[in-house]
Chains A and B, each alone.
Chain A
Amino acid sequence: MADEKKDVSRRDFLKTAGVATGALVGGGVIGGLIGYNAKDGGTATDEEERSGGRADQTAGSPGGRMFFTNDHDFNVLSEATERIFPEDDLGPGAIGLGVPYFIDHQLAGAYGNNEREYMQGPFNGGEVTQGYQSRLRRKEIFLQGIKKMEQEAQSRFEKSFTELEGDQMDEIITAFQKDEVEMEGVTAGFFFRLLRSAVLEGAYSDPMYGGNVGMEGWKMKNFPGHQASYIDKIDSKEFQEIDPQSLGGNH
């Protein structure tokens, strides 16, 4: 499948298809597209085709969704994450890194449910310096925020968020960042900050969580991931480029 799409850039593909990858094809093709995007020449290396290996592109990659029930919501999320962390000449963006899946999985678990956080009332809006005071849990904030993004797209451009040009998406994301959109039980700025953090977390956490696919996030940053020891390198005057390792590799 990857071969069929080789000469189509990911974004062109999304545009022509009219929907983001998640809706149409699920994880399989995403994996293929990533293989393409991650390499200049568009040829997947042997290593990438091998499955289950540590450096494998599909190591830890997610096969489905645990939280989002609605394809369109997931696609809006995907496009927003890609604007926050776009693909460029350095490497893949949020979609290529599997960030939307990472967020999906997180929202289904302890993070989305604020499990280890104090969620007893009464709930009162506080000063910014008092932090998270919403009665909503993160999963509810994300779902509401994404629906609001879609609503903003409709009211500003009479189009779905996923059909917008990049700068139109940016306009909406900026409106959230600047707190210019009304949300219930939480501010738009708060949702934006959660989203931005979640994107970076997905881009750079161990691939076993479903993001940072193929450790491409780490590779861009020259971060070697899980290394047992640097005792023999810590003195080195030269910058050390080290092949990254995931905790989710073969053990």
Chain B
Amino acid sequence: MATTLDKVDVVTVGAGWTGGIIAAEAAKAGLKVVSIERGRERGTEDFLRVHDEYRYAIRYELMQDLSKETITFRNRPDQRALPMRTMGSFLLGEGLGGAGTHWNGQTWRFLPYDFEIKTMTEQKYGANKLGPDYQLQDWGITYDELEPYFDKFEYTAGISGEDKNPFAGKRSNPYPTPPMKKTPVLEKFEKATSDLGYSPFMLPSANLSEAYTNPDGQTINACMYCGFCERFGCEYGAKTSPEITVIPAARETGNYEIRFHSNVVEVLHEGGKATGVRYINWMSGEEFIQPAESVVLTSYVMNNAKLLMVSNIGEMYNPETGRGTLGKNYCYQVLPGATGFFDEQFNTFMGAGSLGMTIDDFNGDNFDHGDLDFIHGGSLSLTQTGSRPIASNPVPPDTPAWGSEFKKASIENYTRTLNVGAQGASIPHRQNYLALDPTYKDAYGVPLLQLTYNFTDQDRALHKYISEKATEIIEAMGAKQAVGRAPITDYDIVPYQTTHNTGGTIMGADPATSVVNNYLQHWDVENLFVVGAGNFAHNGGYNPTGTVGALAYRCAEGIIKYSKEGGSLV
């Protein structure tokens, strides 16, 4: 039997970026907040011996324990979905800070075009640009409406950047800290892209260029460019993460508690209102009910959708009829790009997770798509994130995969390779969606989430076009050999691509086509909030967390307002 605990004002499922932001804002406003987090407590002091590629980057020390829970996957609805038994394509977070502990820190604001993508695309190219299988949708909020919240997230995180992107939405304030160091390889990219007529700028970074104290009074230190950043925690407290910012800010109020090792299995609800969550402490085996005035799902894209599904909240999306919203518009990203092989050696083993330069000339609708068979595009960057020897064995095409030729070529090119890569936007397709798996279960007997996903013709066209642009850039940088990415075929869940999963619990202006309103308040259950990249109605051409952070701040404002007034926030 489950033990019922004392009621709190707000319960969040998970304590990553979204859970941390909600907790800090609500606790500062005097609300009693509890986060139920299935992972463990951890922080900067755990990362002093973190420069271990094998343990952290290859064996995924900081990430989700799949023996307890994973998802199932298939490319098409007519296939049998099978469990993702090992991690690969994306790396799910777990523990205090969630994936925000081991992220890179590339912190973007989606383009104004992204939020009104359907309207703007149709205005310019007509209603049939992509055809009926693509489910483009506006987000129910504009860039201008979201701007104050972008600002808020950037000032919490201390983002290091420069306001030189001619395609970016208007900013109310400059970046809180100056850009990162422009290293020789970045200068090479800057020169080549400028010569080609593009507009390079320093990538906005949550690895900070200098020490910074945020409005909550939390200090983030200066980055040491240690090269063990993506997939690692930062031993300097220099990579802005929830556990060094919003979590301590929430704790300092005295209104916040985190329960670790505790896995939420259900959202409880009655008469159209959420009453709390049920969870299992997997260390003690005990089951608890945590009643709350407001329930906030902050457990990432996958479990936010799954918890709604297993709790029977909302109508499941049906790919046949297009009806239903829960699970709809799952998107990912494509990664066009090019590799350049050079004669000279570069210090690419040094770097930081968001050290880079970018051009946005081929992102969003920043270029004309009139003669192209796709929409959107992607930010094109050269990053210097620290290339490490197990994962980085670049060889020219036609080199054998093993043996002496491979050994020579991979050692030679390890320090003589640069990459220009894009985060290609992903447009929702009727057959790409989330559901519940009928066969496989997690360690608590709850069905696994089922992902049906494949790349589309839109993806393939975008990938080809942007890869050609990347190849031109790397050639202009003086590569002796430039190799564009091979055309994409079927989505493969094995090789790492990106942890930029989106959709499934999308936001919008209309309950018939979205799960939550633009405060991320559930349309059917007014004291239930669902926060994360799952709210994205499509995926843009950048990393997601800048936009996720902004949405979380807006949601927090909504939760505080709801606690006083109740009712629908829109």
Contact = CB atoms under 8 A, between A and B. Distances in A.
Nearest to B347: A240
A235 B411 contact: no
B263 to A, nearest CB: 15
Interface stretch (B45-53, B245-253, B328-336, B362-370): B45-53
Nearest to B402: A84
B138 to A, nearest CB: 32
A230 B493 CA distance: 34
B391 to A, nearest CB: 9
A2 B120 CA distance: 74
A141 to B, nearest CB: 12
Interface string B141-185: 000000000000000000000000000000000000000010110
Most buried by A among B350, B351, B401: B350
B360 to A, nearest CB: 25
B85 A133 contact: yes
B58 interface: yes
A173 B402 contact: yes
B390 A200 contact: yes
Nearest to B387: A223
Given A130-B74, A224-B349, A118 B85 contact: yes
Given A217-B389, A236-B347, A88 B439 contact: no
B441 A228 contact: no
Contacts of B347: 230, 233-234, 236, 239-240
Contacts of A162: none
B226 A116 contact: no
Nearest to A242: B349
Nearest to A110: B59
B59 A221 contact: no
Interface string A26-54: 00000000000000000000000000000
A233 B384 CA distance: 14
Contacts of B493: 129-131
A6 interface: no
A222 B415 contact: yes
Given A131-B85, A173-B402, A223-B388, A239 B54 contact: no
Interface string A180-212: 000000000000000010011100111001000
Given A84-B403, A204-B53, A235-B181, A119 B85 contact: yes
B49 A247 contact: yes
A83 B388 CA distance: 23
B362 to A, nearest CB: 28
Contact of B67 (A116, A177, A217): A116
A223 B349 contact: yes
Interface string B382-400: 0000001110010000000
Interface residues of B, number: 61
Most buried by B among A200, A221, A233, A234: A234
Interface of A (DSSP majority class):
loop
Interface in A107-122: 110-111, 114-120, 122
Contacts of A239: 344-347, 415
B408 A88 contact: yes
Nearest to B182: A235
B440 to A, nearest CB: 7
A70 interface: no
B293 interface: no
Interface string B66-92: 110110011100011011111010000
A83 to B, nearest CB: 7
Given A130-B74, A131-B493, A205 B53 contact: yes
Nearest to B184: A237
A234 B346 contact: no
Given A118-B83, A129-B75, A230 B227 contact: yes
Contacts of A231: 222-225
A90 B408 contact: yes
A122 B84 CA distance: 13
A75 B506 CA distance: 55
A90 B408 CA distance: 8
B407 interface: yes
B65 interface: yes
A124 B491 CA distance: 19
A95 to B, nearest CB: 13
B128 interface: no
Contacts of A130: 73-74, 82, 84, 493
A226 interface: yes
B404 A124 contact: no
A115 B53 contact: no
B438 to A, nearest CB: 12
Contacts of A224: 349
A116 B66 contact: yes
B341 interface: no
Given A133-B82, A201-B390, A236-B347, A118 B66 contact: yes
A216 B53 CA distance: 16
A206 B441 CA distance: 36
Most buried by A among B58, B73, B222, B347: B347
Interface in A128-142: 128-133
B51 A226 contact: yes
Nearest to B84: A131
28 contacts: A84-B403, A111-B59, A116-B60, A116-B67, A117-B85, A118-B70, A119-B67, A122-B439, A127-B79, A127-B490, A128-B494, A130-B84, A131-B88, A131-B492, A131-B493, A177-B401, A200-B390, A205-B58, A206-B54, A218-B389, A221-B411, A228-B226, A229-B224, A234-B183, A235-B183, A239-B347, A240-B347, A247-B49
Interface of A: 83-86, 88, 90, 93, 110-111, 114-120, 122, 124, 126-133, 170, 173, 177, 196, 199-201, 204-206, 209, 217-218, 220-231, 233-237, 239-240, 247
Given A120-B441, A226-B51, 13 more contacts: A86-B403, A114-B67, A118-B69, A131-B84, A131-B494, A133-B82, A206-B54, A226-B52, A227-B51, A231-B225, A234-B350, A239-B345, A239-B415
